[in-house]
Amino acid sequence: MNVVVLVKQVPDTATRIKIAAGGAEIDRQGVNFVVNPYDEFAIEEAIRIKEQHGGQVTVLTVGDAKAEEALRTALAMGADEAVRVDAQVQDPMTTARAIAFALRDLSPDLVLAGKQAVDDDQGQVGPLVAALLDWPQVTVVTKLELTGEGGVAEREVEGGIEVVEFSLPAVITAQKGLNEPRYASLPGIMKAKRKEIRQISADASVTGEPAVRTRSLALPSARSAGKILTGMDAPAAAAELVRLLHEEAKLI
Ligand SMILES: Cc1cc2nc3c(=O)[nH]c(=O)nc-3n(C[C@H](O)[C@H](O)[C@H](O)COP(=O)(O)OP(=O)(O)OC[C@H]3O[C@@H](n4cnc5c(N)ncnc54)[C@H](O)[C@@H]3O)c2cc1C
């Protein structure tokens, strides 16, 4: 079973984001980048599939040379091969076209992706890749079992679980709960440092025009300062708290 995992490098969610000059993208200066957390579930699942069924795990990212750090993290966890698609992407469609282009060459049995990237939160890349390749797709998956020619997946739906069957090749997007991602071992980290990363170029004739363009980004408005009640005993503080919740916050 040859599995390709789509991995995106995203800003650590604890990072304080600044907007770059031009107003349509973030300032990457000083930002700590990590593997998209949902992609960690996808990487772990791919490694477990290899351990159970044999085959190999290839991790793939679209991005510049810095994005290779995310590939090395995945290699250190246990992926076998890594591919960076060198392309200028601007939206989910251009990203998906670059990925579909590389996948035609890699011809995997299964593609695993995160259900969404925690920076842009579009949740579109996995489904778009499946649509471009005309493959079945199952999204928001919390349990996955492969059965030779296909598989069975459980997906979270409002108030319950949906069980679906699919044939291979297919695209599956991972939800939290699918597994518990392993930590990279020290030998794994050392091995990953030396591993060659294959490059595939996808120029504008592959990625085409973006379907949507980001016009501007804005930070949330600043929160008003909190209030600390001091200098009163507990009953008086409770009474004042109720008054504030009622009259100022209008919550009760
Ligand atoms: C000015 C500008 C600059 C941009 N520069 C970049 C850039 O440098 N790098 C970049 O990736 N995007 C860049 N983008 C595009 C954009 O950030 C997203 O890649 C695109 O909108 C996809 O949406 P998403 O990240 O929310 O993906 P989602 O659809 O939420 O992602 C779902 C899953 O798809 C997979 N996936 C998503 N993106 C990638 C990827 N790049 N490689 C491999 N797998 C992926 C992951 O498994 C992820 O969990 C840029 C956009 C603009 C407007």
* pLDDT tens figures, 21-76: 999 999 999 999 999 999 999 999 999 999 999 999 999 999 999 999 999 999 99
State which H helix or E strand residue 248 sits in.
none
For residue 224, pLDDT over 90 is answered with: no
Which 3 state secondary structure label does DSSP give 65?
helix
- What is the whole-number distance in angstroms between the Cα of residue 139 and the centre of ligand 1? 17
Ligand 1 midpoint to CA 85 (Å):
12
Secondary structure of 1-42 as H, E, C letters: CEEEEECCEEECCCCCCCECCCCCCECCCCCCEEECHHHHHH
φ/ψ bin of 93: left (φ > 0), alpha (ψ from -120 to 50), beta (otherwise): alpha
Q: Let me know: does 93 contact 211? Beta carbons within 8 Å.
A: yes
| Region 213-236 average pLDDT | 91
Regarding the beta carbon of 139 and ligand 1, being less than 6 Å apart is answered: no
d(CA 234, CA 181): 46
Ligand 1: atom nearest CA of 213 is 53
Q: Is the CB of 90 under 6 A from ligand 1?
A: yes
Q: What share of the chain is helix, strand, coil (3-state, %, to 5)?
A: 35, 25, 40
What is the pLDDT, as a whole number, of residue 223? 83
71 contacts 197 by C-beta, under 8 angstroms: yes
Please, what CATH class does the domain formed by 2-207 belong to?
alpha beta
How far is the centre of ligand 1, averaged over its atoms, from the C-alpha of 91 (Å)?
Answer: 7
> Is residue 201's pLDDT more than 90?
yes
The reply to whether ligand 1 has any atom less than 6 angstroms from the CB of 36 is: yes
CB burial of residue 197 (10 Å; 0-12, 13-18, 19+): middle
- Tell me how far the alpha carbon of residue 39 lies from the centroid of ligand 1, in angstroms: 12
Determine the pLDDT at residue 249.
Answer: 86
Whether the predicted pLDDT of 148 surpasses 90: no
Sequence spans of domains, the chain: 2-207, 226-252
State in Å: Cα 8 to ligand 1 middle. 7
97 lines ligand 1 (CB under 6 A): no
Q: Which residue type does 251 have?
A: L
Local confidence band at 185 (pLDDT 50, 70, 90 cut-offs): very high
Which pLDDT band, with edges at 50, 70 and 90, does 90 fall under?
Answer: very high
Task: List the residue whose alpha carbon is closest to atom 22 of ligand 1.
Answer: 92
Check residue 225 and give its pLDDT: 84
Is the C-beta atom of 94 inside 6 A of ligand 1? no
Using alpha carbons, select from 49, 62, 40, 43 the residue that is nearest to residue 2: 49
Which residue CA neighbors atom 38 of ligand 1 most closely? 8
Confidence of residue 8 (pLDDT cuts 50, 70, 90): very high
* Predicted local confidence at residue 83, as pLDDT: 98
Residue 220 in this model has a pLDDT that exceeds 90? no
- Ligand 1 touching residue 25 (CB < 6 A): yes
Prediction pTM value: 0.91
Q: Which protein residue's CA is at the shortest distance from atom 7 of ligand 1?
A: 63
Of ligand 1's atoms, which has the minimum distance to the CA of residue 5?
47
